[in-house]
Structure 1
């Protein structure tokens, strides 16, 4: 979402600078990407899913101080330190709550990150969220509500493709994303395996070798067992994304994490004309609710997934109508229009909200 907004605003003639960490030492400290100036602070160590970069806060504050408006992408450990005392008005985009495995250390990290994000939002002119549904169920709702504005992520449609991943005339079900616990892939596999059709296929695309926090590929493989109909495809290159969607009858996002905010990938599938099966959890259920292009099921319920797949196969939604509904709700141009309004509104506010 951050990349789409930055490049979209630059394409509209805005001067955009992104401050980030040099998470890969092969990347330059400064460069321009699609009209966006990118500044990277050096990293001295890694901690869990994040990095330690003492210069990041200083670089971010100095850059925002020279801008008409700053835009923070939360959750972020350093958000409070960046926002503290800034005269430049800030728009904070709150994507999702931080979720970490159980344990005292992780619990302490979560408390610290939440406090930093809460302080940043209290010092922001506007707090943007992808849906009120998710925001109301967030543990940060009290900090979000006073300045809340709703802006969906900009979702570019995938390029047209050929159904080159399709193997049979049977139902082809797909998933594309990180192979991690919160995606609920074990339940998807079990739900799919209950389908008796030997020509059905389940295509699971996504990296499981370089995943922050570790992947659950072994658990997914155990769930697959000896079923020859399931394909664990690994990373799908960008140039073949269109082929992947063109090969599907149903796209799935079977998340079990109650703090996943939206699921851009399912909106992209809809823009490709593919109906979606997603979990009935705050935020994630919104694309189907807004477009009617698919169905939602209770999280972690293989039997419900089986029933939903059968229903979508027997009575598929109108693909063209679904594509048009998704374009109206999630197209890049409509989202950029809405976000541009927020930036202009914040730029005229010289005092941060208290």
Structure 2
């Protein structure tokens, strides 16, 4: 009888080790698969590094949330079957809807914390003060008061709408109103962007996308949007200017939807997941 144990931790926790020993003692075959988003190299001492490599040798396979996360594991376990599969697929409407409006409708969806880089987006938009744009910010968090103050100091307050946190179904209602979704995340030695779900959803809804080169963002966008260096306000402002051109924006939005349908739809994710499990559970 084969048992399957799925781990969602970077390290094999003590409880998991105990479970493995108990199953082995009962003479049961165990397929052990780990899912990881870890895309920053951990600074480990020799003992933890040894335990990490030993844990990888016990795995039957691994699902990585990004190419970057997978590449970190491949260095220590080159023979381990690894599949790069986002945790969730994107819901793609049959016919994306778009509400006519004036100017460039820009959106940000995410938690209001420093890592998300919303302050950089506000400063970049201040460099495009002469352009006709508006910004909708969906999300909440400890940085909201500081960000609202920054928008006021930059004289942008009248062009920014703060919705607070919204349930997923309400976020879905936002896509027809947006031309561009921006994910301006900033990297550090301890963190890179791991969650690109909102990018995939926007792309599937034929919304043009722009993001920084933090973590998972570049591999999700590919050549179907703009990727700018983290913290480069001029590059971000320049991308906004280029996206103000309707023909440019329309071409990128169509490319983004095609990429999302091919790689990130529920059907595409299900097919990749099934292929992986067929490989590791034999």
Give the structure 2 partner of residue 142 of structure 1: 75
96, 99, 111: which one aligns with 2:38: 96
Q: 1:144 to 1:261 in 2, by over 3 A?
A: farther
CA–CA distance in structure 2, aligned partners of residues 123 and 343 of structure 1 = 17
**What is the number of equivalent residue pairs in this alignment?**
263
Cα deviation for residue 237 of structure 1 reads 2.3
Give the structure 1 partner of residue 26 of structure 2: none
Cα deviation for residue 114 of structure 1 reads 7.8
Cα deviation for residue 197 of structure 1 reads 4.1
Which range moves more in the overlay, 148-157 or 306-315? Answer: 148-157
Spell out the pairing of 1:1-354 with structure 2 (5 A cutoff): 68-75=3-10, 79=13, 81-83=15-17, 84-85=20-21, 87-97=29-39, 119-136=54-71, 138=72, 142-143=75-76, 145-153=78-86, 154-157=88-91, 169-197=102-130, 199-208=132-141, 215-225=142-152, 226-227=155-156, 228-257=158-187, 259-261=192-194, 263-289=196-222, 292-314=223-245, 315-318=248-251, 319-348=253-282
Task: Check whether the contact 1:266–1:276 (CA below 8 A) recurs between aligned residues.
Answer: yes
Task: Check whether the contact 1:277–1:295 (CA below 8 A) recurs between aligned residues.
Answer: yes
The CA RMSD measured in Å over matched residues stands at 3.3
Cα deviation for residue 278 of structure 1 reads 1.0
Unaligned 5+ residue runs, structure 1? Answer: 1-65, 101-106, 209-214, 349-354
Unaligned 5+ residue runs, structure 2? Answer: 24-28
Task: Check whether the contact 1:279–1:285 (CA below 8 A) recurs between aligned residues.
Answer: yes
Q: 1:260 to 1:277 in 2, by over 3 A?
A: same
CA–CA distance in structure 1, aligned partners of residues 209 and 66 of structure 2 = 18
Task: Check whether the contact 1:81–1:116 (CA below 8 A) recurs between aligned residues.
Answer: no
Cα deviation for residue 232 of structure 1 reads 2.2
* SS class of match (2:121): helix
Residues 271-327 of structure 1, C-alpha deviation per residue, up to 9 Å, x if partnerless?
0101110112343200121xx221100001222111111111222142334312210
Q: 1:229 to 1:147 in 2, by over 3 A?
A: same
Cα deviation for residue 172 of structure 1 reads 1.0
Cα deviation for residue 224 of structure 1 reads 1.3
* SS class of match (2:230): coil
